[in-house]
Amino acid sequence: MPRYDDDDFGRSRSRGASPAGSPVAWVLVGVLAVALLAAGVGLFVAWPKAAPLNDPTAQPRDVVPKGPLDGEEREAVELFKNVKDSVVNVDTVVFRRNLQTRSTDVIQAGTGSGFVWDDQGRIVTNFHVIREAIKSKLTLRVVLADRSEWKVEVVGVAPEYDLAVLKIKAPPTQLKKIKVGTSRDLEVGQKVYALGNPFGLSLTLTKGIVSALDREMESPANTPITGVIQTDAPINPGNSGGPLLDKDGRLIGVNTAIATAREGEGNVGIGFAVPVDTVNWVVPQLIQSGKLQKPDMGIRLVDQVRLRRAGYDHGVMIEAMEPNSPAALAGLRPLSAGPREVTPGDLIVKVDGVEVKGNADFEQLMTRRKPGERVKLTVERDGKTLEAEVVLRGV
């Protein structure tokens, strides 16, 4: 009986020979190679030729018609059109003689924003925008929205509120005074717009909301500015002195400062504006007399060191008082020295319910008041506690 390993098939497999070594395998390989070559030639013939880089017949694309503006877009566009002519650049410039060209170069040393207050050419801005110019006796320049440039006179400054009033001699036809609103009825969340010249980029409009109310910030005079508006409308260096507006284009604040994580950084979404109700009280005073009237009740206080040595560990004492002053009209009593004894003056321990620890406390509480305001004082006299209401005057 034959065995499988005795025939040719059996021997070839048992020896590990490759099928490729057989004539049939070589024929199959050849056929496959011819097929691949033919397919490659066909693909090369069918592949499209590359388009030329240039086309002499190229034409502009058809323009897709513009859709209508939505409500918010129309509001912003109309607001900008109505207010832009009221906003100005306030620049500090240095004149330098150019020896090569024998001409005078005008170099911009600082820039800020402002707005037209009235038809007589008065401009409102921040005090800190013009502070260096005043200190170093540099030239101030106002650039109107029509890009005309004007020399500036300083009407008055109020560092306590970081406000200043300037004046230019532009004709009334080139002046458009801003519409004034109120800040007493502002609400957190309502829409606001900022218009100014950040980084010298004239007439830049940004949008946000009232983020918070009744903030407090320090003025250039190192006194507190109260009632400050916080907004997330993007405000950057150069916006200072520009208007913060409501949706109707009314002035509701003067953009003044930004909060930054590090010195020199730009906007991080926290900006501050002096409220318009403060502006509308300060600016007329600066126009009237060139200075701000400070609240006063017509008294002089006992030196705090002397008072503490005398055994009074709290409050402030009235040392002297002007005749017919607000304090005198309210029935307050100053210190008096007779031939044999000294009668202490009224010891003021509270102002509108806020405790007075010393002279600095009292002065700070007064800086937050305005002439004409009524202030309730709590005083100690002869071992008794009394209440007195004083109507502050301006000095």
Mean pLDDT computed over 84-110: 78
Neighbouring CB atoms inside 10 A of 180's CB total 15
Q: Which of 86, 113, 162, 246 is catalytic?
A: 162
- Share of residues in the chain with pLDDT > 90 (%): 58
Half-sphere exposure at residue 186, Cβ-oriented, CA atoms within 13 angstroms:
31
231 Cβ contact list (under 8 Å, min separation 6): 192, 194, 208, 209, 210, 211, 244, 253, 271, 272, 273
Q: How confident is the model at residue 16 (pLDDT cuts 50, 70, 90)?
A: very low
Beta bridge partners of 378: 350, 387
pLDDT tens digits, one per residue of 26-40 = 556 565 655 655 555
Q: Does the annotation mark 128 as catalytic?
A: yes
Q: Which two tokens stand for residue 36?
A: 């691949």
Asked if residue 23 has pLDDT above 70, the reply is no
Tell me the average pLDDT of the chain.
Answer: 85
Mean pLDDT computed over 219-223: 88
Q: Which of 240, 246, 277, 346 is catalytic?
A: 240
Give the residue with greater pLDDT, 139 vs 276. Answer: 276
Q: Does the annotation mark 18 as catalytic?
A: no
Q: Which of 128, 219, 232, 246 is catalytic?
A: 128
pLDDT at res. 7 = 39
Q: Does the annotation mark 361 as catalytic?
A: no
pLDDT tens digits, one per residue of 163-187 = 999 999 999 999 999 999 999 999 9
Coil, helix or strand at residue 32: helix
Q: How confident is the model at residue 3 (pLDDT cuts 50, 70, 90)?
A: very low
pLDDT tens digits, one per residue of 302-356 = 999 999 999 999 999 999 999 999 999 999 999 998 777 889 999 999 999 999 9
Environment class of residue 76 by beta-carbon count within 10 Å: exposed (0-12), middle (13-18) or buried (19+)? middle
pLDDT at res. 263 = 60
- At 176, which amino acid appears? K
pLDDT at res. 342 = 86
pLDDT at res. 12 = 39
- At 162, which amino acid appears? D
Environment class of residue 147 by beta-carbon count within 10 Å: exposed (0-12), middle (13-18) or buried (19+)? exposed
Asked if residue 144 has pLDDT above 70, the reply is yes
